[in-house]
Structure 1
């Protein structure tokens, strides 16, 4: 099933996972995670791949596994900087044969070596347009968006203008970059709607459980950290158990606030930590059951 068809009738719960780097580890390390996440009946599970697509074959294999062994729809990631038309055709044909119907198109991280950068698709919208032109009946398309703007964008206005271009190129829904400040998301959502962006925008949430992870997310994404969360993590930075508890409580409140504001769904960046997700889902069990019920 295509994810936009699900979004037309209900709020979605979804998770992101990533494949192991080594081909031989693919299902040894990830199968249990998929099974445990599937216990929460997610509507879809997205599968990333490493920089420059170096785990792309693993990603496609995992997407197939999700389709064949769970009740969730797989969302396969595909980046344009690591793709040329021939590669895209090969991947799309493989996904089509596996009945994987959803693709998240991304630009991807630019390689340090310019010689490794394919110039066939410079933007995610171009990649989505190409796939739509050649495989229009086969796939639905997701795109990424940035509540605190893309790090390379000159302004939020420019970033939202580009987001509108993605919608016009045929994208069916967006998933946000991680954020910790819900108010930033609500401001972004309002501006996006004013700009004519009408497709669903699903907030992406990253549960944090240690100081190194939080610090890394700040450096990679530029996400603003609420002062209260920063103070907690500074105070308990060497107490692993306390940080995990703080992370679960903070993320639980963040999700409950988003649910109270009737968002289109919740997408959790699981980091393949199903045990942490279990605790989080238990915290919001009653509200979760009602919010994600089929309309």
Structure 2
């Protein structure tokens, strides 16, 4: 098993206290020398300004390579590409392009007037502008997909439109990812597909996330957390579960792991250590 490269996802803070928490997260995880870190974009573009501020702060105060999430929900093509241009002007050339979740209560995604029809069109426009584009992938069917093959076909369309790599939605069993990876290879997809790892920091919250995105929860995992009667026990279980998942993936040839941190870095840190990653010292931006 080789030592993997890693990346981490953060979300933009909405309060002063959350800003301190984000910076703590960066300080804890930056020593693992991530290949890149990304900053999410709220449903319906609700964190547009906050995302830009977080990306700019991390990019200008550390030597980390930052990727900005960008969606096409509730925005025209011109508005969306203007945001992309502002990132390029700030020195950010890596964008995670997603269709995006519609605002709550909207009844589903509907393209905005003069907006992109979805992630394929958005990916093509960003690639045409010279961006390094990462896209999303679903090892278990997306709630809007008619069948598993539709997810693979859609992913291939995004790669054909110019995407460089994909990050999967989180999952809990290695075979879920491995079967998806094999199916993508059979479809002619050769670009990197990075498994998305979500450390279980809050069991109730994770169950809700899983239900919303169609991620299956193994019974053995549900039973284990049902018997975790303290937060300390739950944290130990979370680290053990994710470390075993990552170890299985690495043994099957996976070379990169992407962690959804939820701006709570301790579990991701402990998992990286369990996998043999050695923290480095440098964080400050090199002049």
TM-score after normalising by structure 2: 0.89
Identify the range of structure 1 (239-248 vs 213-222) with the bigger mean alpha-carbon deviation.
Answer: 213-222
Which secondary structure does the structure 2 equivalent of 1:176 belong to?
strand
Check conservation: 2:111, 2:117, Cα contact below 8 A: no
Aligned match of 1:19 in 8, 12, 19? 12
Counterparts of 2:41 and 2:80, CA distance in 1: 15
Which secondary structure does the structure 2 equivalent of 1:193 belong to?
helix
1:187 is the counterpart of 2:179 = yes
Aligned match of 2:118 in 112, 115, 123? 123
For residues 31 and 209 of structure 1, do their structure 2 counterparts lie closer, same or farther at Cα, with a shift above 3 Å needed?
Answer: closer
For residues 116 and 198 of structure 1, do their structure 2 counterparts lie closer, same or farther at Cα, with a shift above 3 Å needed?
Answer: closer
- State the 1:232 CA deviation: 0.3
1:267 is the counterpart of 2:258 = yes
Query: Could you say which residue in structure 2 is the equivalent of 1:210?
Result: 202
CA RMSD of aligned residues (A): 2.0
Q: How many residues get paired? A: 273
Within 5 Å, give how 1:104-253 maps onto structure 2: 104-111=96-103, 112-113=105-106, 118-119=112-113, 120-133=115-128, 135-136=129-130, 139-236=131-228, 238-253=229-244
Query: Could you say which residue in structure 2 is the equivalent of 1:57?
Result: 49
Q: 4+ residue runs of structure 1 moved beyond 6 angstroms?
A: none
For residues 117 and 160 of structure 1, do their structure 2 counterparts lie closer, same or farther at Cα, with a shift above 3 Å needed?
Answer: closer
Cα deviations across residues 194-217 of structure 1 (Å, max 9, x unaligned)? 001111000000000332123222
Counterparts of 2:225 and 2:200, CA distance in 1: 10
Identify the range of structure 1 (194-203 vs 206-215) with the bigger mean alpha-carbon deviation.
Answer: 206-215
1:33 is the counterpart of 2:33 = no
- State the 1:56 CA deviation: 1.2
Query: Could you say which residue in structure 2 is the equivalent of 1:6?
Result: none
Cα deviations across residues 202-240 of structure 1 (Å, max 9, x unaligned)? 00000003321232222222211222211101222x422
Counterparts of 1:36 and 1:214, CA distance in 2: 23
For residues 168 and 280 of structure 1, do their structure 2 counterparts lie closer, same or farther at Cα, with a shift above 3 Å needed?
Answer: same
- State the 1:85 CA deviation: 2.0
Counterparts of 1:208 and 1:68, CA distance in 2: 31
Judging by fraction of residues, say which structure has more helix. Answer: 1
Cα deviations across residues 132-174 of structure 1 (Å, max 9, x unaligned)? 33x12xx100100000121111111121111111111111100
Counterparts of 2:98 and 2:32, CA distance in 1: 27
For residues 116 and 197 of structure 1, do their structure 2 counterparts lie closer, same or farther at Cα, with a shift above 3 Å needed?
Answer: closer
- State the 1:26 CA deviation: 6.3
- State the 1:117 CA deviation: 5.4
- State the 1:15 CA deviation: 0.4
Counterparts of 1:191 and 1:11, CA distance in 2: 23
Check conservation: 1:209, 1:248, Cα contact below 8 A: no
